Amino acid sequence: MDIFDKLQILADSAKYDASCSSSGSSRKNLLNGIGNAHTSGICHSWGADGRCISLLKILFSNCCIYDCKYCVNRCTNNVKRATFTPREVADLTINFYKRNYIEGLFLSSAVIKSPDYTMELLIKTVTILRKEYLFNGYIHCKTIPGCSQDLISKLGNMVDRMSVNIELPSNNSLKLLAPQKQKDGILQPMSYISNKIHQNKLIKSKLKTNFVPAGQTTQLIIGATPESDLKILTLSQNLYKKLSLKRVYYSAYISVNNDKNLPTLESPPLLRENRLYQADWLLRFYGFTADELLDEKYPNFNNILDPKCDWALRHLENFPVEINTADYYTLLRVPGIGVISAKKIIRARRSFMLDFESLQKLGVTLKRAKYFITCKGKYFDKVYKFNSNFIETNLVYQERNQLQNNTFEQLSLFDKLLPTKEDKLKCLTGSL
């Protein structure tokens, strides 16, 4: 099997993993080296479903010893199998980078033979890039659950970000769909990475290493198991607090296998995935908690309204908010007002009293905010009454129009490529 065939198989297999991001590192270039992973120096783009497409995103291998029922690469599936060599992955990365196709590498793998054996192959790949090619660009590498801590430490000193995918939100779901995996086997490496990052920050001497400078992430599959949004969001909240994760990624379940324990879905629950991303943002930047957004009586998000609007409609006792007197954290809870807008409002009102025209000049989007605020004690001129039914009707109308115009697709590295296979091979190997 040639390198193009391998790339086609393993890039396609990697598309189900959403837990890659290219921000947060500041790895400087070295003399005669290649690449620079500055904090804001990685050029990345995002698909409509929130997936990062900036990195060379591939699996090292899709030959797996596990039989996870939801996974396309489960050992019992009759799919094309391929495995790179460390040299092939390193050469691909450098050739792509030199042609400005990518700004870094996201490398994951199925479990070959054993977790330790797989990790050693990943380490060899990264070592070639860092030591031989002197590649100083961004590298995000997956940690294989169940591998030794020594291997985690060795890999962590060479990459910018690491991730361990939880995949399933509860222990019961893990036992049902991935019985060969253990909860402790997933959480222990996450805890080790977190502690190692924290310890490294406390070291001020020359012994300090550059261990995973961009932190760690994880991924949760949405829709494969019956857990509620409340359960998923509470888990994410605990991961942020206890393990200091940079991001929790949510991946809408895509039905690729037939199994009695798996749901039959006509399409991936991408809207639900989007709602969880919006709620996740509220947890990290807006001061909300999971039990504020949802509770046992209301365990799932509204499919029509975004989580912030939904929360506001259920808590109208907190509104309307007077723009000229409300504190920063109160402003953050107003639908349509984000972190940047709230800071602008705080600064501007030191000089003068704000009205709705002033808010528009500041860049505040009044499409949602106008129903929940007053300026100088007055409502927006087109808001006739402060009433939950009136507000909900108008917001639902806006959201439905927006949802009807949205289309979703899974992006592919090979879409609409016209060159011949020979041309592609030459390009990948650097001979073109």
Q: What is the CATH number of domain 3-267?
A: 3.20.20.70
181-232 pLDDT per residue, tens: 888 889 999 999 999 999 888 877 666 678 998 899 999 999 999 999 999 9
Mean pLDDT computed over 117-145 = 95
- The answer to whether 10 touches 59, Cβ cutoff 8 Å, is yes
148-173 pLDDT per residue, tens: 999 999 999 999 999 999 999 999 99
Domain boundaries, the chain: 3-267, 307-404
Report the pLDDT value the prediction gives residue 210, as an integer from 0 to 100: 84
Report the pLDDT value the prediction gives residue 410, as an integer from 0 to 100: 44
- Alpha carbon distance 402, 30 (integer Å): 47
CA neighbor of 105 nearest in space, from 193, 42, 28: 42
Report the pLDDT value the prediction gives residue 415, as an integer from 0 to 100: 47
- Alpha carbon distance 7, 341 (integer Å): 44
- Alpha carbon distance 382, 371 (integer Å): 9
Q: What percent of the chain has pLDDT over 70?
A: 82
Residues in CB range of 228: below 8 A, 6 or more apart? 294, 299, 300
pTM: 0.84
Report the pLDDT value the prediction gives residue 228, as an integer from 0 to 100: 97
Pairing status of strand 216-222 against strand 56-59: unpaired
Q: How confident is the model at residue 404 (pLDDT cuts 50, 70, 90)?
A: low
- Alpha carbon distance 72, 275 (integer Å): 25
Mean pLDDT computed over 283-289 = 96
Q: Of 204-213, 256-265, 280-289, which gets the smallest average pLDDT?
A: 204-213
More confident residue, 201 or 324: 324
